[in-house]
Structure 1
Amino acid sequence: MDVLRPPLININGRIYRRNIVKEEHYEEEEDFSYMEPSESEDLAEEESCQSHFIEQTDKGYRCAIDVPSVLYKYIIGKKGETRRRLEYDTKTSVSIPKPGMEGQIVITGSSKAGVSSAVTRIEVLVESFRRKQPFTHFLSFPLNNSKIQEGFLKFKEEVLQQCSQDHGVEESIFQNPAKLHLTVGTLALLNEMEVRKACEHLQEYESFTRDITEGKPLQLEVKGIEYMNDDPAMVDVLYAKVNVKDGSDRLQVIADRLVEHFVSAGLMVREWDRVKLHGTKFGSHCFGDFELNTVQLSQRFSTDCTGYYTSAGSISFS
């Protein structure tokens, strides 16, 4: 990492830099500092009203913030060093639930500015290490229509017959036909509260999708293949091209706006300027036409009674 150009993190419109104290140690040894403006007491008090409520008590000030239990260890740090340094620097006390128990982290102190500073540092820690968590859910357009599955299985059979002598071409490289889908975006939802929040935001988006689709399913065509690498020899994923039969870009608009909606809510990290819609690991002919009528919040590594991914929530186009 270029020490003169540390990574920047945006939290609620505020920009922070991340400074690595000792790269050879655990991730918990990372330190975080506020970038601009300077950390004056007046500024800290002003900022406290923008993110979390800090209440005044008989003993000073108190603030409780929701943090998924899987991230507690990053706030505690190796042998508790991160929490001790945080408490020492901000003159506060940080109470963290026991590992595995969901709850709130409570910050108390005699100074409102100190509590506000501690809250800010914890926010930066949480945001940074959240980005390192594997995704747990993804927004998907299901492609597990019977016609598409039939076209996919036909393609699979043809490839295995004609290309079985080619390196790496074997049955295991093909997607499970019951789980064919378009991935709109991925999310790391670290507890049930975050899953519920994601479902609520998805429901908020339903009226917009119905305006775009005019309250009808989208008629789609799955035909042809593309690959992501510039060098065909380095390709490890083929994806089918999916188009709206009337030639419109309505599916792309829905996907792009959906990602924007979740990014603005802090539930998704933007990876591309434009969503690249593709059905993973399948083929090079006409797979068929079908009606798309739903967006699902799908759970990774799961299977429902139909063979598709378990849905945590969904909306329909009609």
Structure 2
Amino acid sequence: MMNDILRPHLVWIEGRCYRVNDNSVEVTSLQEHDTYEDDTYGDEYDEGGDEDVEVVMVDNSRYKSTVHVSKHYLGSIIGKKGAMKLRIQRDTKTDLKIPKQGQDGKIIIYGPSVSSVKAARRRINIIVMASRMKQKSTHFISIPMNSPDVIKRYEEFEAAVLRECPSRGIEKSIFIGAQRLHLTLGVMCLMDNEERSIASNLLKRAKNEVIMPILKDHLPLKIRLKGLSYMNDDPSEIDVLYGLVEEEGSTKGIIQEMSDAIVDFYYKAGYMDKEYGRENVKLHVTFLNSKYRRSETQNVDDETTKTRQPRVKFDGTEILQKFADYDFGVVEITSIHLSQRHSTGADGYYQPTCVITL
């Protein structure tokens, strides 16, 4: 508990850092934490403000700014009986024009000064960020690991495991499809076209601002997929078995540095949280996952329906003994994707929302 107090959950909104006092409570308990006015966390979070936010003068006594908010989050900004909206307006001395709940549109903020308008906008963004982190992810940043050589070796691995390791819980349905092999760098929730456009533009910006400066002396970047590991401490009770990655003929640590930089870029934009509070991305390529286990079907009133069953772990002891150092081959990284979860594109990989080439 003491560790949570000393290291509270932090989020970045428009270049500023804020503290979420308690992730388990409603967003009405959020309090703004501006690190310019409180040096508790030191200078590492002081990386600029919201200078890029557009605020225009309406007349001699009023300013305004518009902010896109998905209709899914408007209820949180309005609050019960309008309490949250009134609180923001009172605290920032602004007037908020909010679309009717369920309708798309932009929130218009009117205020007596540029600073008051920006303060209201930050309060809105904090609420959206907190609400976003409670939603299931819809998209993820991925690096395809499905070169022809890797696909061939992976399919050979799958066939050998099914043939030689008849252990508890091992079946074909828990293997990920060869065309969908990938590194996941981070996940996010994007609720509408505007948010998807923003996330796509962030990836394009990240290419110029963080990715290429890291990779410029290491292209072409090649990654070898070799070796197996798993997500828990008991090899006989596994949910996820994955492959390990390492640079091929390049400076060690480049993949990790680039991956961490991308997640940090999205994190500071308010669109991605750090998984389990990790400072470093856990680099892995999932091969077997118990959540993929095919559901049983049953007939109910002549209609076939899927029945939800508890997640069943598998025994990976024999796989690890026989294939611990299996070499799946080398992939040359040519692109990074903003991928849509639970989708399939024309090439068998995940449907892309945005792709940048390296």
Give the Cα separation in 2 of the matches to 1:227 and 1:78: 44
Residue number in structure 2 paired with 1:185: 186
**Residues 1:232 and 2:238 aligned together:** no
- Which amino acid is 2:29 matched to? D
Q: What's the CA shift string for 1:42-87, capped at 9, x where partnerless? A: xxxxx99785626353774433222222211211223444334444
Distance 1:301 1:169, change over 3 A: same
Q: What's the CA shift string for 1:4-56, capped at 9, x where partnerless? A: 95755443324345479x96xxx46x233345659xxxxxxxx9978562635
Give the Cα separation in 2 of the matches to 1:70 and 1:181: 30
Distance 1:88 1:252, change over 3 A: closer
Give the Cα separation in 1 of the matches to 2:260 and 2:114: 41
Q: What's the CA shift string for 1:172-225, capped at 9, x where partnerless? A: 2110111111112222233323322333332331543651433x3x33322210
- The SS at the match of 1:277 is coil
Please identify, of 190-199 and 138-147, the stretch whose mean Cα deviation from structure 2 is larger: 190-199
Q: What's the CA shift string for 1:135-169, capped at 9, x where partnerless? A: 222121111222222222222222222333x3321
- Asked whether the equivalents of residues 227 and 235 of structure 1 are also in contact (C-alpha less than 8 Å), the reply is yes
Give the Cα separation in 2 of the matches to 1:117 and 1:292: 42
- The SS at the match of 1:298 is strand
Match for residue 222 of structure 2 among 202, 219, 222: 219
Q: Unaligned stretches of 5+ in structure 2?
A: 39-48, 289-318
Give the Cα separation in 2 of the matches to 1:50 and 1:289: 42
Q: Unaligned stretches of 5+ in structure 1?
A: 39-46
TM-score, structure 1 as length reference: 0.78
Give the Cα separation in 1 of the matches to 2:69 and 2:106: 6
- Which amino acid is 2:146 matched to? N
**Residues 1:303 and 2:306 aligned together:** no
Match for residue 273 of structure 1 among 251, 271, 279: 279
Please tell me the root mean square deviation across aligned C-alpha atoms, in Å.
3.4
Distance 1:190 1:145, change over 3 A: same
Give the Cα separation in 2 of the matches to 1:115 and 1:289: 52
- Asked whether the equivalents of residues 337 and 355 of structure 2 are also in contact (C-alpha less than 8 Å), the reply is yes
- Asked whether the equivalents of residues 296 and 313 of structure 1 are also in contact (C-alpha less than 8 Å), the reply is yes
Residue number in structure 2 paired with 1:286: 327
Distance 1:81 1:211, change over 3 A: same
- Asked whether the equivalents of residues 239 and 281 of structure 1 are also in contact (C-alpha less than 8 Å), the reply is yes
Match for residue 33 of structure 1 among 31, 34, 43: 31
- The SS at the match of 1:147 is helix
Residue number in structure 1 paired with 2:77: 75
Residue number in structure 1 paired with 2:260: 256
Superposition deviation, residue 120 in structure 1: 3.7
**Residues 1:170 and 2:165 aligned together:** no
Give the Cα separation in 2 of the matches to 1:19 and 1:150: 48
Match for residue 137 of structure 1 among 130, 139, 142: 139
TM-score, structure 2 as length reference: 0.70
Residue number in structure 2 paired with 1:42: none
Give the Cα separation in 2 of the matches to 1:237 and 1:307: 22
Distance 1:304 1:248, change over 3 A: same
- Asked whether the equivalents of residues 224 and 245 of structure 2 are also in contact (C-alpha less than 8 Å), the reply is yes
- Asked whether the equivalents of residues 9 and 18 of structure 1 are also in contact (C-alpha less than 8 Å), the reply is no
Residue number in structure 1 paired with 2:199: 198
Give the Cα separation in 2 of the matches to 1:150 and 1:51: 49
- Which amino acid is 1:176 matched to? G
Give the Cα separation in 1 of the matches to 2:330 and 2:17: 46
- The SS at the match of 2:30 is strand
The alignment-based identity, stated in percent, is 33
